[in-house]
Structure 1
Amino acid sequence: MKRIIVLVLMLIVKTGFAQSKEKSFKFGFVDQTGKEIVPCKYDGINAFESGFAVVQLKGKSGVVDKTGKEVIRCIYDEILNKQNWIIVSNKNAKAQYLIKSSDVLLTKKYDEAKTLSPEITAVKLNSKWGFIDVVGEEITPKYDEIIDFADRFAVVKLNGKFGIVDQIGKEVVPPIYDQVQNFKDGFAVVESNNKFGVISEEGKIVVPVKYDMNFYFKDNVSIVKQENKYGILDNDGKEIVPIQYDFMVLNDDLFQVKSGEKYGLIDKTGKEIASVKYDLIESFKDGIAVVKLDGKYGFVDKEGKEIVTPKYEKADDFKDGLGVVRMQVGK
């Protein structure tokens, strides 16, 4: 009996001894030469993300850069290290954003942030949006909304109106329009009071805001509509085809027009390719389009030539060089 008691006592003493010798660790970083960049003084440390790492000390979090400098002191309950910004927060306090710019952590705190492009970050402060430009300068938050950058420009909203700014904050298109499309091929469509126009990247009004449809430029020309009539403008806003047709639509690289109940084809200079005499012109396939004239079907090519005279009861699109036609036989 005594022997058993002694064994139990030894086990208790050994277990207590192990607990009293429990090890503790401190963390840091070394570079490839073995140089200690971040000293081993932190209770915890996370991997670097875009030049910065979160560290923990005495239950609080901070941030160090790659030189070992503590750019954010260990005073926060939680820190999230994202690619373009760092989010810091304490209990019972709203989170704040610090922006990274070219391996530099900007000191001003924002209420929210979002990525507009690899170089541009939108920031929100006191319910207004601005952005950090390509060199890390702040474009003062003053807009109600910033829409994603595309090709160096962003659509912005202010007091219910829209405009366009460039990547250094210059208002290329002032926020005075009901709607704005971002620049495409050097031009932006704007809308005001249900009328449309076009502005160039230089801020020049190329097409006055007076047309009735949302148009676009292709091959330096655009279809426009005014008072239910259609025409064609060049990219200087000049009417190269008068606004006289009842309808117009792009058909491959030609323009299909309508006058009254008849259809024809013109090119972008207004030259008539196929007379405005057809009851129907379908889309070009393999360079050939089905046409209908006086109830009969045939085919025209892009030179307006009737390669098959309209004499069939039905015709289908060309495919692999052939087009299906139908003709009634017998009674």
Structure 2
Amino acid sequence: MQYKKYSSRLLYMLLFQAAIICQGFSQTYYPYRKHEYRHTKKWGFSDSLKKMVISLQYDQVDPFNDGVARVKIDGKYRFIDKRQRFINDIKYDYATNFDNKRAIVRRGNGWGVIDNTGKPVTALMYDYVAGFRNGLAIVKYNGKYGFINYEGKLVIKPEYDYVHPFGKKYTGVQIRGFWGFINRQGNIVIPTKYKDVSNFSEGLALVKYENLYGFINTEGELVINYQFDAAVSFREGLARIEKRGYSGFVDKQGWLIKPKYMGVVSFREGLARVKNAAFWGFIDKRGDTIIPFKYEKASSFYEGLAGVKNGGKWGFINNKGNMVIPQKYDRADVPRNGLIRVKMQGKWGFINKKGEEVISIKYEFVNGFKYGLAKVKYKNEWIYIDKNGTEYVDY
């Protein structure tokens, strides 16, 4: 009986400790600075109540992602977990943040990949490693380019002069000055005969043959003739093209929105911003003017709004052309997840899509939000804020 009672108590204690540990791992840690230590330029981490959870000891920190945070000490990059432990013993000269439990790192001239436990996915053996795209990353070895997968396996040997990041099925590769396409097995599916290519978008790829651009399908068949002086890939069913100094659009059948504009930007949310002799406006996919040409500058539509500038000031219109946020900002970014970076009277902050100031316009500079935090500069010091405007610093 006594044994059962003791066992139950022990089990309860173990479960309680496990719950505390799990809570620690799931708790959000915020990059943090404290006023009395600011002269040291050191960083640590706090909880949401600004209680220190990792002491001020780092020269630079980034928010936690995939359970680890990148930190910088004495000019070298390392990674820590939430128990303040380094995930390995290596000091890197360069390191990315983790994405899908992979980080690209460099020590000396050797590039490689590690996982979020600190274990090497590849040796530090490459001349260069780019980020993963569609499950594959570009690697450079002895001056040639190939691809590795998430497990670090070399799936396409480094034998190309240049390569593009992989699309869903194919990517562009260059051999002896000419471009073609390979599949994910490394087989050439479209011969290397083009002066330039872009990856496939919406089923077609932009290619340059001789001195003109056209479009091919995934079988390598020419579906839109070589006729353009410049072009970009398809988006929303249309591709931006340039002919004899004027810009327009072409659809997948080769029909044109006549090249008559001085500048065009690809369609987004059903509208494209285009420029006549002096001003910017917006057209639909039939080429009809939907929003008149009356803006000195304009951005594309994001989240239902487009930035427009007149008299040196930016505001925002909706897709009917109605001004919904007055033109009073010196700079304005596009909306991202409901927030807009703006600059006014030399200071930066954030407004929402109604034009309401949600994070004070008082900072010398603000970066966009990532992992729920934004790095901002205030009184000549870098700190982090959350989307409520909470500053993770103790003044």
Q: Percent identity?
A: 25
Larger RCO (CA within 8 A; separation ≥ 6): 2
Q: 1:179 aligns with which of 120, 128, 138?
A: 128
Counterpart residue number, 1:140: 88
Partners of 1:228 and 1:147 in 2: CA distance: 31
Structure 1 residue 199 displacement after superposition: 1.0
Partner amino acid for 2:111? Answer: F
Counterpart residue number, 1:120: 68
Question: Which structure: larger Rg?
Answer: 1
SS where residue 90 of structure 2 aligns? strand
Does 2:145 correspond to 1:196? yes
SS where residue 207 of structure 2 aligns? strand
Name the CA shift for 1:116/1:214 in 2 (closer, same or farther; >3 Å).
Answer: farther
Name the CA shift for 1:288/1:133 in 2 (closer, same or farther; >3 Å).
Answer: closer
- Residue by residue over 1:25-60, the C-alpha shift from the partner in whole angstroms, topping out at 9 and shown as x without a partner, is xxxxxxxxxxxxxxxxxxxxxxxxx99xxxxxxxxx
Does 2:284 correspond to 1:320? yes
Number of residue pairs the alignment of both structures matches: 233
Does 2:205 correspond to 1:241? no
Q: TM-score, normalised by structure 1?
A: 0.53
Q: 1:152 aligns with which of 77, 101, 104?
A: 101
Name the CA shift for 1:246/1:139 in 2 (closer, same or farther; >3 Å).
Answer: same
Structure 1 residue 229 displacement after superposition: 0.5
Asked whether the 8 Å contact 2:170–2:200 carries over to 1, the reply is no
Q: 2:173 aligns with which of 224, 241, 245?
A: 224
Name the CA shift for 1:139/1:255 in 2 (closer, same or farther; >3 Å).
Answer: same
Name the CA shift for 1:161/1:315 in 2 (closer, same or farther; >3 Å).
Answer: same
Counterpart residue number, 2:117: 168
SS where residue 173 of structure 1 aligns? coil
Structure 1 residue 200 displacement after superposition: 0.7
Partner amino acid for 1:272? Answer: L
SS where residue 152 of structure 2 aligns? coil
Asked whether the 8 Å contact 1:186–1:200 carries over to 2, the reply is yes
RMSD: 4.9
Structure 1 segment 31-42 matched on structure 2, within 5 A: none
Partners of 1:176 and 1:189 in 2: CA distance: 13
Q: 1:207 aligns with which of 149, 156, 160?
A: 156
Q: 2:252 aligns with which of 302, 306, 309?
A: 302
Asked whether the 8 Å contact 1:172–1:202 carries over to 2, the reply is yes
Partner amino acid for 2:224? Answer: A
Asked whether the 8 Å contact 2:213–2:231 carries over to 1, the reply is no
Q: 1:260 aligns with which of 210, 214, 222?
A: 210
Structure 1 residues without counterparts, runs of 5 or longer: 1-49, 52-81, 325-331
Name the CA shift for 1:86/1:191 in 2 (closer, same or farther; >3 Å).
Answer: same
Does 2:79 correspond to 1:131? yes
- Residue by residue over 1:80-129, the C-alpha shift from the partner in whole angstroms, topping out at 9 and shown as x without a partner, is xx957999x99xxx99999999x99899x977673462421346778765
Q: TM-score, normalised by structure 2?
A: 0.45
Structure 1 residue 130 displacement after superposition: 4.0
SS where residue 175 of structure 1 aligns? coil
Name the CA shift for 1:262/1:123 in 2 (closer, same or farther; >3 Å).
Answer: closer
Structure 1 residue 176 displacement after superposition: 1.6
Asked whether the 8 Å contact 2:87–2:118 carries over to 1, the reply is yes
Structure 1 residue 228 displacement after superposition: 0.9
SS where residue 142 of structure 1 aligns? coil
Partners of 1:294 and 1:157 in 2: CA distance: 46
SS where residue 209 of structure 1 aligns? strand
Counterpart residue number, 2:372: none
Structure 1 segment 102-121 matched on structure 2, within 5 A: 114-115=61-62, 117-118=64-65, 119-121=67-69
Structure 1 residue 315 displacement after superposition: 4.5
Name the CA shift for 1:154/1:288 in 2 (closer, same or farther; >3 Å).
Answer: closer
Counterpart residue number, 1:271: 221
- Residue by residue over 1:51-74, the C-alpha shift from the partner in whole angstroms, topping out at 9 and shown as x without a partner, is 9xxxxxxxxxxxxxxxxxxxxxxx
Structure 2 residues without counterparts, runs of 5 or longer: 1-22, 265-271, 273-282, 289-395
Asked whether the 8 Å contact 2:127–2:142 carries over to 1, the reply is yes
Partner amino acid for 1:184? Answer: R
Partners of 1:104 and 1:209 in 2: CA distance: 47
Name the CA shift for 1:240/1:100 in 2 (closer, same or farther; >3 Å).
Answer: same
